[in-house]
Amino acid sequence: MTESRVLHSPLTLVETFELTAPLAEYQDAVAAFCRRVENDGLAGVRSFQFYVSQEAGEAYLIVTFRDADVFDRHIAFIEGQDELEPYMNTVRLKHFKAFGTLNAETLGELRAAYFQFEWVNAYVTGFVRNAEPH
């Protein structure tokens, strides 16, 4: 039996937002924000997916990072982007759930935040594809 070793522990976030603006305004703002992250953000952001439920009045973000360090650098990156404020003006963060390893300082900040926070750090197994199969 060979020993398997994880070089980077992926970190996946599931965020739930209350929509605070009309759907069309949210869609425009989130599209601009997503384009900025896709075009200029960190390569270690593996996926960045937004969903919306008009019936529930909620929006959702599912994002996977290569590891906790990329997450920390991503936060620093987005805080300096002009597209963040218009997007955040259309939603209110309600629930933040993190799956994977977080850096201690980040964990403390999330636990002290004004939204509901859950953390699941007992990684079992899995993978994130980096490219389409051939």
Give domain status of residue 36, yes or no.
yes
Domain count of the fold of the chain: 1
Give domain status of residue 60, yes or no.
yes
d(C-alpha 91, C-alpha 108), whole Å: 23
pLDDT of residue 133: 60
Count helices and strands in the chain by DSSP H and E runs: 4, 5
CATH number of the domain residue 91 falls in = 3.30.70.100
pLDDT of residue 7: 53
Give domain status of residue 50, yes or no.
yes
Task: Tell me the residue range of the domain where 100 lies.
Answer: 11-120
d(C-alpha 45, C-alpha 39), whole Å: 11
pLDDT of residue 6: 47
pLDDT of residue 115: 86
Which strands sit side by side in the sheet containing 58-65, from one edge to the other?
45-53, 58-65, 11-19, 91-99, 116-120
Q: Is 43 exposed, middle or buried (0-12, 13-18, 19+ CB in 10 A)?
A: exposed
In the block, residue with structure tokens 């955040």: 88
pTM of the predicted model as reported, rounded to 2 decimal places:
0.86
Give 10-residue mean pLDDT values along the chain (134 residues): 54 97 97 96 95 97 96 96 97 95 92 89 79 61
Give domain status of residue 134, yes or no.
no
Give domain status of residue 79, yes or no.
yes
d(C-alpha 40, C-alpha 17), whole Å: 24
Give domain status of residue 31, yes or no.
yes
Give domain status of residue 1, yes or no.
no
Give domain status of residue 125, yes or no.
no
